Structure 1
């Protein structure tokens, strides 16, 4: 009997979640993902080009801002960030826990983020707020003089380059000399798929940007068992590509002839969760283009469409930042870089499984959406759209 009990106990342990998540932290993860999906839809609706942004990185900056606000400004910001019902006083500690859960081990080496709050030098920022930003949100507070805009631009660009590397040289190009407060966030991810694609199987293939525009792209290939779902309501297939670091990518391909924007309009936090739950393992040949996306955004106008307005106005209350009266947020800057390529170049190592009969092939040869999340928590890391893989 004892060996049976031991075996049952072991099975229970193996089938239980790897880590229990505090309900309040889980609520913050879900609400951040909800806001991230809303923000993505707002950004994507303004362009036909490639899109990539990091809701996770942006949430650090927006929550640091939330901690600086008070009164009606804070109330509206809570609502705009879909955080209604959460206690603003406990959010910094919850975000710190969230960050440790979402960025475990190897993922933290493949995913790099940076966040800074840049108040004008004439604003007296308290030491306690500076410590809060540093310890809870892993960011910095750096006072700047905006009287000479070119010098302020140079300072911020040097900061992001020092934090993130040479790919992040130009976060800003211009600056309003009336600027009082800026939030800057940045994120970069090098995907590491597991199972990996092998570069020896990559070959140039056609990618149909639209019905009139075709480009040749390096198309990666792998045959394996993958998790796949189909959403008949939006007419799109959803493929899961696991990563070696505990993250995963959902790649959403509309049916041929279905406009990508009609799919994007339906991408909500609830829809993403539904897709994940509907995934089923199947034998599949996958062709995915190699791509590098690099995008910068000024988000003031977009955030205002999401009902985050008061903090940008003259009656904004950011008094929790220090002895500050009459100051407002001027702009939120964000830059993301995502690299998707082969992780295996050794031709002696198999880059695909061998099946007795060739399985169906799924080829991403037209515009698609991708969603990168941390599997254990389902924390949303990146969202993007690939319209043309040959463009950044």
Structure 2
């Protein structure tokens, strides 16, 4: 039995700019994220912390996607905008002056529309809701700081990252680089249930802190695909080239929308629980047009325009990953100071000037029939023979398409990507 598995990780490395570094005195204990039951009795409104940050997080997601697209060329794209924005929002607790302003602007937060406290309370709420153990969708998201034992964090920063982001603070000896790398990689491997192994290959010789954000998502389709009808089929890479893929098939009612203006099909494939996915299939030759129009308003319009309709759905099985140099991408988005000698992260540590030396993001996705055990259950479905008018459309994801995973509780885009070659080998 195979489940869809979405994994992602962001790793930030910090290096010291100043000379004075002192000891981390206290071993910090792992922070438990309080269970936050999805309280449906509470009306959805602007007073809810996570609702306030959702539009900014969506804006950031599409801005970052367009930056990745510039560099990706004709390659698959897959990342978690929420992981990246959470990690940098957490870092912003220790940023000051222009470094802080650039981070807010890069993350699409407008402080004329919300207070800085709203940002952190929003992420606090998102973490509580996503980690609710009573959800049908398995979601785990968390943060950790690996801190060199010569570095003394400011108590205010430590309190804030613990309070708002439930971060673990883990003492580490960066003087013993191989051991520190092993410790960090072991943590990542454990938190991603063995899916991301040996991510960190080396440490900067001046590194004094590593910030890790991880998100793990396992979802089962509300309507699983029957693996007995999965067939080999062609996926068209372009006008001249194709690859063989395992194509899944369903002939059922889905929420769909035909966007005539952008020339694309939008199909919602929901998971059990409060998460859903949008698969967007541009007509041949219109991918760039659809990508250029990717804005929160566009996606909101798609969601509101969805209508139930029986379709013949063809979707390939795929397992892809993406690895990104976030430092390079952020610099192109105007976030430069935090990576430079002008960085003002004076709210992080005592008597130590810090800058971000490296920021890596890795995400993987596995989409399959999801959770059917053909040997255990035999189901015979009978349908009346009726002449349907108009006939159900055949929507074949047999050419490059876009996908988004959306959490309905927090209104957040957990993951987004572009699949140009489902058969491509993972990074």
**TM-score bin (small chain):** 0.7 to 0.9
Q: Which region of structure 1 is more displaced relative to structure 2, 319-328 or 114-123?
A: 114-123
Cα contact 1:188–1:336 (8 A) shared by 2 = no
Q: Does 1:20 align with 2:44?
A: yes
CA shift in 2, pair 1:297/1:144, >3 Å? farther
Residue 402 of structure 2 corresponds to 369
2:342 aligned counterpart, secondary structure = coil
CA shift in 2, pair 1:206/1:330, >3 Å? same
Residue 37 of structure 2 corresponds to none
1:166 aligned counterpart, secondary structure = coil
Compute the displacement of 1:98 (Å). 2.5
Residue 9 of structure 1 corresponds to none
Residue 8 of structure 1 corresponds to none
CA shift in 2, pair 1:144/1:278, >3 Å? same
1:366 aligned counterpart, secondary structure = coil
Compute the displacement of 1:31 (Å). 0.9
Instruction: Name the CA distance, whole Å, in 1 between partners of 2:401 and 2:384.
Output: 27
User: Could you say which structure has the higher helix fraction?
Assistant: 1
- 5+ residue gaps, structure 2, are 1-39
Deviation digits for residues 205-263 of structure 1 (CA, Å, limit 9, x no counterpart): 111122333111111111111111122333221111111121111101110233x3442
Q: Does 1:232 align with 2:243?
A: no
TM-score by length of 1: 0.86
One of 72, 75, 78 as aligned partner of 1:49 = 75
Residue 264 of structure 1 corresponds to 291
Cα contact 1:181–1:330 (8 A) shared by 2 = no
TM-score by length of 2: 0.80
Deviation digits for residues 6-53 of structure 1 (CA, Å, limit 9, x no counterpart): xxxxxxxxxx99742425531212211211221122122211211111
One of 40, 48, 63 as aligned partner of 1:38 = 63
Cα contact 1:222–1:352 (8 A) shared by 2 = no
**Higher RCO (CA 8 Å, separation ≥ 6 residues):** 2
Compute the displacement of 1:345 (Å). 3.2
Compute the displacement of 1:146 (Å). 4.5
Residue 71 of structure 1 corresponds to 97
CA shift in 2, pair 1:311/1:301, >3 Å? same
Compute the displacement of 1:364 (Å). 0.3
Aligned residues: 376
Cα contact 2:96–2:347 (8 A) shared by 1 = yes
Q: Does 1:319 align with 2:346?
A: yes
**What is the alpha-carbon root mean square deviation over aligned residues?**
2.6
Compute the displacement of 1:152 (Å). 4.0
Instruction: Name the CA distance, whole Å, in 1 between partners of 2:351 and 2:418.
Output: 40
One of 380, 386, 397 as aligned partner of 1:356 = 386
Instruction: Name the CA distance, whole Å, in 2 between partners of 1:63 and 1:263.
Output: 29
Compute the displacement of 1:327 (Å). 1.2
Q: Does 1:379 align with 2:412?
A: yes
- 5+ residue gaps, structure 1, are 1-15
One of 300, 317, 320 as aligned partner of 1:290 = 317
CA shift in 2, pair 1:310/1:353, >3 Å? farther
Compute the displacement of 1:293 (Å). 2.2
Deviation digits for residues 91-122 of structure 1 (CA, Å, limit 9, x no counterpart): 32222112334555555752333433345544
Compute the displacement of 1:330 (Å). 1.4
Residue 136 of structure 1 corresponds to 164
2:356 aligned counterpart, secondary structure = coil
CA shift in 2, pair 1:150/1:127, >3 Å? same
Residue 337 of structure 1 corresponds to 364
Instruction: Name the CA distance, whole Å, in 2 between partners of 1:156 and 1:388.
Output: 32
Deviation digits for residues 121-163 of structure 1 (CA, Å, limit 9, x no counterpart): 4432134433432342233233545556544433322220121
Instruction: Name the CA distance, whole Å, in 2 between partners of 1:69 and 1:58.
Output: 16
Residue 86 of structure 2 corresponds to 60
